[in-house]
Amino acid sequence: MAGAAIWLEMPDGQPLRLHDWPLPQAQRGGALLVHGLGEHAGRYDQLAQWFNARGYSVRGYDQRGHGESPGPRGVLKHPDDLLADLAVVHADYERTLGAAPLLLGHSMGGLVALRAVLDERISPRSLVLSSPALRSHASQGLQRLAATLAHLLPSLRLRNGLDLQRLSHDARVATAYRADSLCHDRVSPRLADFIFRAGASCIADASRLEVPTLLLVAGDDALVDASGSRDFSAAAVRTKQLTTRYFANLYHELFNEAEPGRSQVLRQVEDWFERLVGPPGFEPGTKGL
């Protein structure tokens, strides 16, 4: 389990709750986790322990308006708040580790991580994207409405409409999510507009990818439109930095899927790690995560 609560203050005074799963003498450095819309980093305890078992210290954080980080749920002060926050958290963790971490982002967190990398706000050693929110199932009309309201009523708190039954084939995942007081179902027009715009811009900028990246795509994803990941993968292929793995019948939360799906996903992640740096204990020289 993560240790005692620690906090990191952003330049605008916003405190963010950090979650640490430290590993003394971590062989492979650190992994930084970025959670999705409506949830929080505490939900990643099982995944963090998986990383610990493979030689990584782990840090996660509750994005502003989420989890234990204060502020109205799902609300941003500025459109790029989440990108600026990640840059500060990443830099702080890099100082702690003495080296850049591996970065893993899920859903909205995958979008934030990828946009921050493409904007050169951060330079992680490598990047893992789990069901990134590169395209939405929302209609074009709803996306235009979000853009309008982002100017008129940017902090209006609306239901995010996430289909919790389609998080995982394991029904216990949705049950636990609903019972978790730190999860919420709110999104503001400013945040929704950021997600829509940033997803489209990531696909347009795919050829700028310069970080070794593993893209994990849930083929039966009801929460984000997997065609965004497919289009990003096709556009990024020329960079030779992207490895894409598709899981045709799995739902959105790949790391929380029912077995054997979850183990299949984690095996792909581990295989990718080993191709980059070798098995635990291997001295990778100049190449690595």
How many domains, the chain?
Answer: 1
* Interval 206-220 mean pLDDT: 98
Do the Cβ atoms of 150 and 143 come closer than 8 Å? no
Q: pLDDT tens for residues 13-64?
A: 999 999 999 998 888 999 999 999 999 999 999 999 999 999 999 999 999 9
Looking at residue 109, its pLDDT comes to 98
Question: Mean pLDDT of all residues in the chain?
Answer: 94
Does the residue 54 lie in any domain?
yes
Looking at residue 162, its pLDDT comes to 95
SS3 257: coil
* Interval 141-149 mean pLDDT: 97
What's the CA dihedral at 261, 228, 114, 149 to 10 degrees?
Answer: -120
Q: How far is CA 62 from the centre of its chain?
A: 11
Residue 97 CB burial class (10 angstroms; 0-12, 13-18, ≥19)? middle
Does the residue 10 lie in any domain?
yes
Looking at residue 4, its pLDDT comes to 61
Q: How far is CA 56 from the centre of its chain?
A: 17
Looking at residue 5, its pLDDT comes to 76
Looking at residue 280, its pLDDT comes to 55
Looking at residue 278, its pLDDT comes to 64
Domain that holds residue 229: 6-277
Residue 212, pLDDT > 70, answer yes
Looking at residue 24, its pLDDT comes to 86
Looking at residue 277, its pLDDT comes to 75
Residue 132, pLDDT > 70, answer yes
Confidence of residue 286 (pLDDT cuts 50, 70, 90): very low
Q: Return the beta strands (E) in 97-254 as ranges.
A: 102-106, 126-130, 158-159, 186-187, 213-218, 242-247
Does the residue 285 lie in any domain?
no
Does the residue 124 lie in any domain?
yes
Do the Cβ atoms of 15 and 61 come closer than 8 Å? no
Do the Cβ atoms of 30 and 101 come closer than 8 Å? yes
The structure's pTM equals 0.94
Does the residue 287 lie in any domain?
no
Does the residue 289 lie in any domain?
no
Q: How big is the chain, counted in residues? A: 289
Do the Cβ atoms of 231 and 243 come closer than 8 Å? no
Q: Which CATH number goes with the domain that contains 179? A: 3.40.50.1820
Confidence of residue 283 (pLDDT cuts 50, 70, 90): very low
* Interval 258-284 mean pLDDT: 84
Q: pLDDT tens for residues 98-130?
A: 999 999 999 999 999 999 999 999 999 999 999
Looking at residue 27, its pLDDT comes to 85
Percentage of residues of the chain with pLDDT beyond 70 = 94
Looking at residue 64, its pLDDT comes to 98
Does the residue 164 lie in any domain?
yes
Confidence of residue 227 (pLDDT cuts 50, 70, 90): very high
Does the residue 57 lie in any domain?
yes
Q: pLDDT tens for residues 237-270?
A: 999 999 999 999 999 999 999 999 999 999 999 9
